[in-house]
Every structure is written in structure tokens, then in C-alpha cells.
Chains A and B, each alone.
Chain A
Amino acid sequence: MKRLSLRGATRVWERNLWVYSKRWVYNILPNFFEPVFYLLGMGVGLGAYVAAGGQFEGGYTAFVAPGLVAASAMNGGIFETTYNVFVKLHFSKIYDAMVATPLSFEDVAAGEILWAVTRATLYGTAFLAITLFFGVPLTPRLLLALAALPLIGFCFAAIGTAFTSLIDSIDLYTYFWTLFVTPSFVFSGIFFPIEERFPPALITVAELTPLYNAVHMMRGIVRGEWEGVGLNALYLAAVGLALSFFAVRRLGRRFLA
């Protein structure tokens, strides 16, 4: 860890920004399509059949939207630190070139996490903006929602990097997606209140998943329902810090072997 420098990490981040800025136009477009499709399909389409009232006050779309914002930040953080980092690490070899400069491998790993946080924030911001057209009210609380995006991105960037640091074959991401990302997406309270549908034991399991915390936090902020939001944020920060530490160390050691 003593080989990590914030300045070094920033330079790695800068390289990614450089690449991204050259083609941001077609990089950012999918970030608009995805939320629109989800909100139309789940919210407007399915939502018409969902009984109003209770949890769904304000309409089903308004219930689903904040959770989808959290999920989009998750996707931004995870995608960048899984496939993208893996390809750079094992195929394109650009990290080899970077660590021959004053950058350390710890700088490179930390820089990638930092960049993933940026991507996650961009994804999430685009999604949040679009939810305004689907019943999410424009309030000052949304500023706090914007600030929550990097935190969610950080947690999932750390998870993705940690997983990437453990594997040698790109095929293993299939497990990561089918056993972690997809169940998180479906069972973290984005589409229905799990507290009302799950047996108690499963509720505990769900509450321990990072995405549940992200969804609960985001919905709480957007709707002004503050209970548990602080705890959610703490949880995301703790997981992010612990796994970043693990991943940066592990990648650094593996490289300098």
C-alpha cells in the first residue's frame, strides 16, 4: 500500500478520461436508451397492472425509478472494473507500459477504481435526469441523490476489481453475473418491496447485499424517507474501502511477482 500515490492514480484516471472524451458521444448514448427502455417496460408497461396504493404511492414507475438509478450506477462501476480491466490486464498489456513509468501497479488499480466511479456517476446522472420525465419529482433532495452516485459506484467498482484480481480466465465472469449481478438486480427491492414478499431469513440475506443498500438509500433520498439511509451509506463505504484495499494490494503483488 505504501506504493500507492494519489497523484499516480489520478494520471491513470486522466488516461481513461482522454480515451473517453474522444468518443463520449457514442459512449454516452446507451446510457440514455437503457433507462428509457426500463422505465417504459417496467414502469409504464408492467406498472399499469400493478395495484396502486401502499408502497406504490405516486405510481409504480416512481417506485421503480430510484432503484433503477442505483442499478445503473452499479452497472457503470462493475462493467468498467470487470471486462474492461481484465482485457487491459491480460490482453492489451497497457498496464505493462504504465508500470514502466513512475506509476506503480497500485496506482494503476486505484486509478481504474477512480475511473469506474466516474463512469458510474455519469451513468447514474443520465438515468436520474430521465426519471424526471417519469414521475420523479424535481426536489433539492436530488442533489443528495447525485452525491450518492459516486458512493454506489465506488462500492461496486471495488467489488468488480476484487473479483478481477482473483480470476485468470475471462469466462469466470459468467458466474459473477449469473450468481451475483443478476440476482442482485432482481431481488434487491428495485421492483417490489422484498420486506413484504420474502421470508424473514431471506430478508436478512437481501439486506446484506450491496445493491439492496444502494437501492434503499437512493429511494430514501429521492422520496425523503430518511430511515436507514445513513446506515446504507456507511455499509456501501465500508464494503468499498475493504474490497478496494484488498484488490489494490492483490493486483500490486501479483504484478510485481
Chain B
Amino acid sequence: MSELVVQARGLTKSYGPLVAVDHVDLEVHPGEVFGMLGPNGAGKSTTMRMIYRVSALTSGSLRVFGLEAGRDDRAIKSQLGVVPQMDNLDEELSVLDNLLVYARFYGLDRALARKRALELLEFLELSARSKDRIRELSGGMKRRLTLARGLMNEPRLLILDEPTTGLDPQVRILLWDKLAELRGRGVTLLLSTHCMDEAERLCDRLMILDHGHVIAQGPPRELIANQVTPQVIEARLEGELEPLEKACADLGVELLPAVNRVSLFVQDGRQMLEELERRGLFLNGAYIRPGNLEDLFLKLTGRSLRQ
């Protein structure tokens, strides 16, 4: 079936005068990993909460698995899994019981639930902790258990709200591997993140949200190629900025100064450095890197702090 997994048109959510999500159009295709990027308060979580049907739409239309939101919520929710931003495990139950009780909410019979729970604990490397209480787990274990819980009903769509925020690199890499494995099994993934590396590495397509609006959408490589130069020179700034500014203006190169360093957005870094040297400008500690998603993100959403 090539039916869209999520199809939203003009998706809007307002709380009184505050418009958290403003006419968002969104399509998630079967089997893909779709990422949502945006500063805090951009509307990522609110959009996800509408999709997993715990938040009502203010206006717009939304279909999940072709089913109409608001009318077929139970059917929609029975086919998706959710890993929320804040772990909300049941502290009164053990690791294994968290999965077993959750399975009952989906109406899974006990024997099947037990089999799946044990498999998932194995999959997420938690088997040794199955009898532990939740408060005995580390942050990374809780996150893995929350993922296991989200998989108990074998969802067609898994929604993850900032799945790796606050985790150490080992756990993050483990989770990335697991998500890649799930994708390989045909599960569609919708995730939000602040981690550009994560978005670039995992996502087939992504959207960038800011102030409730979609400001860019497409495959990460394509977005970067369209809006960011192929290479970026990073260097320390010693001495005056002005001569460098003048040279960049001459050459039509975008220059982004920070407190004591600069970034130059260029087609060819080596060539640019040579050109600057010819003009008597030597950049200290300069290195060349490819343009990346973070450049795009900061270009589109600006550098000022959000709430």
C-alpha cells in the first residue's frame, strides 16, 4: 500500500491568542524516517501530540493511516507507538510489568504480551533488568524501556519526541542503531530532534518548524545543497574584522562573525584561503568543513535565543 501514513493540511493549534502550530502541511510516506527540527517552542511536540491523538486540532484536517483524526482515534492509536519527550513510565510497576500492563491497554492477550515483552527487552538490552523498579534505572535505560513500551503493539508508525535528548553518546548510538533496524523492518518513523547529527544521519526527509510555521521541507542533503554552500571555513579571529569583511564583500562570500571567530560560507575552501592570502589576509587555525544541517538551521531560524 502506498497510502500516506500521515497527511495533514492546514494543521493548526491555538491556545487562546497563542498560535502554537500554524497551518502546517505535512505528509509522511510509508517506511520513511521523517524528522521535525525547530527551536524550543516551535510547535514540534504540539504537532506530534495532534498526530498521536491526545491533542485536539483547532482547525485543519488530519488523516493517519488514511483514518480521520477525531473520528477514528481509537483505530489510529491502536496502530501507532509513542516515545514521549519526558519518560512517563509507571513507577509503581517493575520493568517487565510496565510492558505487560501497557500491552493490556492495547487489548493484547497475556501470553502474546509476555512473549513480545521478553523479545523487546532483549532487543533493547534490558533483559537483565526485567524485575527492577523504574527508579533503579538510569536515564538511558528508562529511555530504552520507553521505546520498548512504544513497540509493544508492533506499530506501523512510531512517533519519537526528542528520543536522544539528554542521553550519553553510547546510548544515543545504540538507539540510532535500533531505530535504523526498525526502519529496515518497515516501520515508519516520525521523530523530532535538536540534534542535527541525528537528523542528518537518520532522516530521509525532514521539516524545519519555527514559530509554528514550516520554513523548509525536504531530504536533508537536498536542503543543505539548496541553501548552504558546499564548504564552510571556520577560523579564529585575531585582529581587525574589517579587512576580512571587505574582502568577503568583494568576493561575494557570506561571512558570519562570532565573538572571536568567523565562519565563511564558500564554494571551495582551499581556493578561498589562497585568495585571502594573496590579499595579505591570513586566517589563524582555519579549517574547512562541509556545509551541514546546523548551518541551514541557524540560517533559517536565526541565532537569537528562544524561550
B1-9, B100-108, B281-289: which lies at the interface: B100-108
Q: Is B55 an interface residue (CB 8 A)?
A: yes
Contact between B107 and A102, CB atoms less than 8 A apart: yes
Contact between A18 and B93, CB atoms less than 8 A apart: yes
Number of A-B contacts (CB under 8 A): 65
Q: Is B90 an interface residue (CB 8 A)?
A: yes
Contact between B56 and A256, CB atoms less than 8 A apart: yes
Q: Is A6 an interface residue (CB 8 A)?
A: no
Contact with B along A93-129 (1 / 0, CB 8 A): 1101111111110000000000000000000000000
Contact between A100 and B89, CB atoms less than 8 A apart: no
**Given the contacts A11-B104, A19-B93, A104-B73, A94 and B54 also touching, CB distance less than 8 Å:** no
Contact between A97 and B88, CB atoms less than 8 A apart: yes
**Given the contacts A15-B101, A93-B86, A257-B55, A100 and B77 also touching, CB distance less than 8 Å:** yes
Contact between A256 and B104, CB atoms less than 8 A apart: no
For B77, give its contact among A5, A101, A256 (CB under 8 Å): A101
Give Cα A213–Cα B257 distance, bound, in whole angstroms. Answer: 77
Contact between A255 and B54, CB atoms less than 8 A apart: yes
Give Cα A101–Cα B153 distance, bound, in whole angstroms. Answer: 9
B105 CB to nearest A CB, Å: 4
A256 CB to nearest B CB, Å: 5
**Given the contacts A97-B102, A102-B78, A256-B56, A19 and B92 also touching, CB distance less than 8 Å:** yes
Give Cα A128–Cα B106 distance, bound, in whole angstroms. Answer: 38
Contact with A along B70-97 (1 / 0, CB 8 A): 0001100110001010101111110001
Contact between B105 and A103, CB atoms less than 8 A apart: yes
Contact between A94 and B106, CB atoms less than 8 A apart: no
Give Cα A54–Cα B38 distance, bound, in whole angstroms. Answer: 77
Contact with B along A3-22 (1 / 0, CB 8 A): 10101000100110011000
Give Cα A183–Cα B116 distance, bound, in whole angstroms. Answer: 52
Interface residues of B, Cβ cutoff 8 Å to A: 15, 52, 54-56, 73-74, 77-78, 82, 84, 86, 88-93, 97, 101-102, 104-107, 149, 153
What 7 A-B pairs come out closest when comparing CB atoms? A101-B105, A93-B88, A100-B82, A97-B88, A102-B78, A19-B92, A102-B74
Q: List 8 A-B contacts (CB under 8 A).
A: A15-B104, A18-B97, A93-B86, A96-B88, A97-B102, A97-B149, A255-B54, A256-B55
Interface residues of A, Cβ cutoff 8 Å to B: 3, 5, 7, 11, 14-15, 18-19, 92-94, 96-104, 255-257
